[in-house]
Amino acid sequence: MIELKLLVLPGDGVGVEVIPAAVDVLEACAKKYSVSLQIHQDLVGGASIRAHGVSLPDSVLERAKGSDAVLLGCVGGAEWEGEPPSRRPERALLALRKELGLFANLRPVYAWPALEDSSPLKPSVIKGVDILFFRELTGGIYFAQPKERNNDRAVDTELYTRGEIERIARLAFQAARRRRGKLTSVDKSNILETSKLWRDVVTDVHKQYADVALDHRLVDSFAMQLMTTPASFDVVLTNNMFGDILTDEAAVIAGSLGMLPSASLGNGRALYEPVHGTAPDITGRGIANPIASIACIGMLFEHTLNLPAAAANVQQAIGSALRAGYRTADLQPTGKPASTQEMTDAILKALQAGR
Ligand code: IPM
Ligand code: MG
C-alpha cells in the first residue's frame, strides 16, 4: 500500500470552503487506488496571523518539510492590506515556496468542451486548448535583493542565474516530450538583460532536447496570441513575474479562475494549490468553485503518487460533472446552478462510477 503524508493548509477566504471539498475527493480516490493517508491540517496566512501573530509558524514550515506534499488553499484578505510585508498573509506562501525549494510551478490550462460557452472568448478560439505553463517560482523579481522602499523611491530587482533557468527549462522540455513536443519560451529579451540570459540558456538546454520544437516569444505579443490563437501552444515556459500574469490571463480560456489547479515542484517536494485567490466577494456563502482544488488532487496523484490512472479518474470525474450541467456561480448563467457541495457531490459520484 502506498502511503501519503499530507499537510493540508486551507488558509483564508474561500480556501476553507474548497479545500475540504478537495480532501473529500482525495479520500474517495485514495480508497479506490489503495493509498493510505496521513493528513495533518493547520493554519496558514491570515488565519495564522490571527491565531499566532505570524503567517507561517516554524512548526508548520517544519511539518511541510517532513510531508510528502502540501495542499494549500489561498491566503490574504482586506484585513491585512497596508500591513508591512512581514505581517502579510502572502508572505507565508512565498516562504513556503522558497524554503521548500519549489522552483517549478506547473499550471495546466484546459478548455473543457462542456465550458466552451462559459468563456468570453469564441468557442472556435478556445476549442482544443491544452496548455501546460511552467512558471519559475523561487527566483526573479519576487525574491531578488535589493528591495527598497521609502517615501519617494522603491526598488525591486530582477535577477536570474544560469542554474535557475536551466533546471526549470529541463523540466519543461521533458514535459513537452511527453506531450505534443512543442515548447514556447516567453521573455522580454528585446529589453531585459535577465531575459537575454533566459533566451540563451533555454536555447542551450534545447540541444539536449532537439526532438522538441522550441520557439521564443516576447511577453507582450505572447499575451495577445494567448487570446487569439491559444490552441497553438503546448508547453509554455516563463519567469516568475510573467508567469503570474499570463496564467491569470489564461484562466479566461478555461472559463473561470476557479478552474485552474497548480503544482509547485522541486527537490522531491510538492505543494498543490488552486491558482485563484481568497475571493472575498463570495467567501462564506458556500458557492465557491471547488474544481481548481479538486483538480489539484489529480495533479497530486500524477506527480507525488505517480498514479496516472487515478489522476485521469479525477479529470474524467470533473468532465462528467460539467457535462451533466453542474455550474458554480462563476460558470453561470448556463447549466444547473450548483453550490460548492453540490458540485463536489457530482464529482464524487462520477469518481465512483469511473474506471
Ligand atoms: C499566485 C498568486 C501569488 C503570486 C500571490 C498571492 C503572492 O498571485 O500564486 O499566482 O503572485 O505568486
Ligand atoms: Mg497570481
E strand residue ranges, the chain: 2-11, 35-41, 69-74, 104-110, 130-136, 148-149, 154-155, 182-187, 213-218, 235-238, 261-266, 269-274, 326-327, 336-337
Catalytic sites, residue numbers: 142, 188, 220, 244, 248
Contact 67, 6 (CB under 8 A): yes
User: What's the pLDDT tens digit per position in 173-192?
Assistant: 999 999 999 999 999 999 99
Residue 306 confidence (pLDDT) above 90: yes
Average pLDDT over residues 36-49: 98
Give the model's pLDDT for residue 338.
Answer: 97
Task: Give the closest residue to 293 by CA, choosing from 279, 308, 275, 311.
Answer: 275
Q: How far apart are CA 184 and CA 189, in angstroms?
A: 14
Q: How far apart are CA 275 and CA 306, in angstroms?
A: 22
Neighbours of 233 (CB within 10 A): 24
Q: How far apart are CA 166 and CA 169, in angstroms?
A: 5
| Average of per-residue pLDDT values in the chain | 97
pLDDT band at 313 (very low <50, low <70, confident <90, very high): very high
Contact 259, 292 (CB under 8 A): yes
Give the model's pLDDT for residue 260.
Answer: 97
What is the whole-number distance in angstroms between the Cα of residue 301 and the centre of ligand 2?
Answer: 24
Average pLDDT over residues 102-106: 98
Q: What percent of the chain has pLDDT over 90?
A: 95
333: left (phi over 0), alpha (psi -120 to 50) or beta: alpha
The model's pTM is: 0.96
Residue 335 confidence (pLDDT) above 90: no
Q: How far apart are CA 140 and CA 269, in angstroms?
A: 20
Ion ligand 2, residue ranges at CB < 5 A? 244
Question: Residues near 272 by Cβ (< 8 Å), separated by ≥ 6?
Answer: 69, 70, 71, 72, 261, 262, 263, 264, 296, 297, 299, 300
Domains 1-113+258-355 and 119-254 share a fold: yes
Q: Residue 42 has which C-alpha cell?
A: 493547520
Average pLDDT over residues 309-335: 94
Give the model's pLDDT for residue 117.
Answer: 87
Output the CATH code of domain 1-113+258-355.
Answer: 3.40.718.10
Range name among 45-54, 74-83, 255-264, 326-335 with the lowest pLDDT average: 326-335
Residue 118 confidence (pLDDT) above 90: no
Ligand 1 nearest atom to the CA of residue 262, by list position: 9
Sequence-ordered alpha helix ranges (H) in 106-254 = 123-126, 162-178, 193-206, 219-228, 240-254
Q: How far apart are CA 8 and CA 15, in angstroms?
A: 11
Output the CATH code of domain 119-254.
Answer: 3.40.718.10
User: Which DSSP letter does residue 100 get?
Assistant: T
| Nearest-CA residue for atom 12 of ligand 1 | 244
What is the whole-number distance in angstroms between the Cα of residue 29 and the centre of ligand 1?
Answer: 28
Residue 333 confidence (pLDDT) above 80: no
So where are the chain's domains? 1-113+258-355, 119-254
Report residues whose beta carbon is within 6 angstroms of any ligand 1 atom: 90, 93, 244, 275
Give the model's pLDDT for residue 355.
Answer: 59
Q: Residue 30 has which C-alpha cell?
A: 485514495
User: What's the pLDDT tens digit per position in 121-176?
Assistant: 999 999 999 999 999 999 999 999 999 999 999 999 999 999 999 999 999 999 99
| Nearest-CA residue for atom 10 of ligand 1 | 244
Give the model's pLDDT for residue 115.
Answer: 94
Query: Per residue in 115-127, is it b (16+ CB within 10 Å) or e — as a string?
Result: bbebbebeeebbe
